[in-house]
Amino acid sequence: MRSWCRNHPVYFMAGYLVFYLAFFFLLEKSVQVPDLVLHCTLDDLIPFCKYAIIPYYAWFAWIPATLFFLLWRGPRWDFWRLCLPLFTGMTLALLFCAVVPNGVYLRPAHIPGTDVFARAVRELYHTDTPTNVFPSIHVLNAVTLDLAWQRRLRRDRIAVRLWGGAASHLLAAAIVASTMLLKQHSAMDVMGGILLALLLDRMADGLTAWWYAPHSDRLRKMLERV
């Protein structure tokens, strides 16, 4: 199985996508009334903003763009190093939602306007229920992708590091903020997503150090070609 994944990374990603979507939509259909409702004072202080739909939807493009970039343009180990916390985190988030059905009641009752932003928000609300929100997978993935880009950019020229790193930070921050500005998530979901992302990234660092330490430079080079 490990050899197959190593030799077929695109099929591996496609297989996980099928698993994730099946699990996600099963939860969406089965959890109608959450057992745990997330809400805090900060949620009431954050205004609704329909323009936040732009970075919110940018998340859907950033994930495959990053994965394919690392797969085709970077050392192969960078790709697997991202897959480890990214897919593990998404799976853990879904499992938590299955064990503890949760949700939010933060959405405004009506989204006024006929512009593209208002229509996009109404479509989002129609297709995505306010359940299975903790920890926020949007936030979890945004932070994990940002950390992956910062690792990747350390090897580039200083100008690329500065501009690329700043752009990655900005996009991740915009995505995180969008989840609250659209009232899709509570600030508690956001904190849960950030903490889980940082924890899994630290664990991936430890696993990488444990794997590399006893092996030779020859094995390191072999892994980078995987």
Condensed to tens digits (0 to 9), the pLDDT of residues 149-199 reads 998 888 767 766 778 889 999 999 999 999 999 999 999 999 999 999 999
* Element counts in the chain: helices (H) and strands (E): 10, 2
What CA–CA distance (Å, rounded) separates 190 from 207?
Answer: 26
**Residue 3 CB: number of other CB atoms within 10 A?**
8
Which of the pair, 130 or 10, is modelled with greater confidence?
130
pLDDT value for 219: 45
pLDDT digits (tens, 9 = 90+) for 68-85: 999 888 777 888 899 999
The DSSP letter of residue 25 is H
Asked whether residue 220 carries a pLDDT value surpassing 60, the answer given is no
What DSSP line would sit under 44-82, residue for residue?
A: HHSPP-GGGHHHHHHHHHHHHHHHHHHHHHS-HHHHHHH
Cβ neighbours of residue 42 closer than 8 Å, sequence gap 6 or more:
187
The helix (run of H) or strand (run of E) holding residue 103 is: strand 102-103
Q: Report residue 202's pLDDT band, with 50, 70 and 90 as the boundaries.
A: very high
pLDDT digits (tens, 9 = 90+) for 113-155: 889 999 999 999 999 889 999 999 999 999 999 999 998 888 7
Q: Where are the domains of the chain?
A: 36-214
pLDDT value for 7: 62
pLDDT digits (tens, 9 = 90+) for 11-58: 888 999 999 999 999 998 887 788 899 999 999 999 999 999 999 999
